[in-house]
Amino acid sequence: MKKFKTESKKLLDLMINSIYTNREIFLRELISNASDAVDKLYFKSLTDSDVQLSKDELAIHVGFDEGARTITISDNGIGMTKDELDKNLGTIAHSDSQAFKTDNAEQQGDDIDIIGQFGVGFYSSFMVASKVRVVSRAFGSDEAWAWESDGVEGYTITEAERAEHGTDVILTLKENTDEDNYDTYLSEYGLKDLIKRYSNYVRYPIQMEVSKTREKPKPEDAGDDYKPEYETYTETDTINSMIPIWKRKKSDVTDEEYNEFYKTNFHDFADPARTVSLHAEGALTYDALLFVPSRAPYD
């Protein structure tokens, strides 16, 4: 086991207990990291003619196993080598994304949107997890490596297996206590809620296996008293909208979507009296979304 440096241990403890006061943002941080990894590979495909890649192939997947008490965030992005795992995850507050932004500042356009900068977001995992395992395979490499830690003393890096390039972050959640119920995150509803609340505008699809219900075909010999029967099945759904609602054409957004966005973000229980969507192009280019409340605020 490689030991965290003394200052790193102190920073990790400070961050878990002080910097982040809202535990549920751990998923936002990990999804942002996954988005950065995907963006780096997409950037590589734009700058290296040997990399044949379609943006439609890139995605982030979130899943959970209630029995094993695990949440897994996977991406098919740039991945990490053994040395990069050691450097990026073994040193608290080292941000590979910040370094990437600095090194490629002049080449990045609207197609690239690196989110992570400070480099401590990954460790918010330990607010909810007793153990974190990261399995990664760098793009162009045949080797995969696993970084594992309990966030206390140090970490290990060992050989692993992964079918393709990208990274899996597997969190083993802490046991429930009288004060904290970590089972909240081990449900389809709980994870979908966090994704929509904190990661809805991540530009790559965030996918989950979700449960749905459908009516079974009516048997040919069914009588007049036949009652429809239903079955539950699972299907991969994209949870996030990807494009911010204020950047979408008004014709592509329903009144219900506008109203829901307004009520969620401005904490009103009533629909707005009017919604104005504005897109301007010229010397100044901007998007604006204006809501007129249906009643005066209480103050």
pLDDT by residue, tens only, the chain of 299 residues: 898 766 666 667 776 666 666 889 999 999 999 999 999 999 999 888 888 888 889 999 999 999 999 999 999 999 999 999 998 887 775 545 445 445 544 555 555 454 444 457 888 899 999 999 999 999 999 999 999 999 888 899 999 999 999 999 999 999 999 989 999 999 999 999 999 989 999 999 999 999 999 999 999 888 889 999 999 999 999 999 898 899 988 998 999 999 988 998 888 999 999 999 999 999 999 999 999 999 987 77
Beta strands in the chain (DSSP E): 2-3, 60-65, 70-75, 129-137, 144-149, 154-160, 166-173, 206-215, 230-238, 274-280, 286-292
What are the angstrom distances between the C-alpha of 167 and each of 92, 137, 269? 19, 7, 40
Residue ranges of the chain that CATH labels 3.30.230.80:
245-292
Angle among Cα 112, 113, 115 to the nearest 5 degrees reads 150
State which fold the 2-209 domain adopts.
Answer: Heat Shock Protein 90 (3.30.565)
Prediction pTM value = 0.80
Cα–Cα distance, 101 to 113 (Å, whole number) = 9
172's tokens: 């083993």
Q: What was the pLDDT predicted at 220? A: 87
Q: What was the pLDDT predicted at 19? A: 60
The position carrying tokens 């080797």 is 143
Q: How many Å is the Cα radius of gyration of the chain?
A: 22
Residue 110: partners with Cβ closer than 8 Å, 6 or more residues away: none
Cα–Cα distance, 136 to 159 (Å, whole number) = 10
Cα–Cα distance, 171 to 130 (Å, whole number) = 8
Domain spanning 245-292 has what CATH number?
3.30.230.80
123's tokens: 């460790």
Residue ranges of the chain that CATH labels 3.30.565.10:
2-209
Cα–Cα distance, 162 to 135 (Å, whole number) = 7
**DSSP-H helix ranges across 117-267:** 188-198, 255-266
The residue among 269, 262, 270 whose CA lies nearest residue 291 is: 262
Query: Per-residue b/e over 181-218, b at no fewer than 16 CB within 10 Å?
Result: ebebbbebebbbbbbeebbbebbbbbbbeeeeeeeeee
Q: What was the pLDDT predicted at 52? A: 83
Q: What are phi and psi of 177, to 5 degrees?
A: -125, 180
Q: Is 256 helix (H, G, I), strand (E, B) or coil?
A: helix
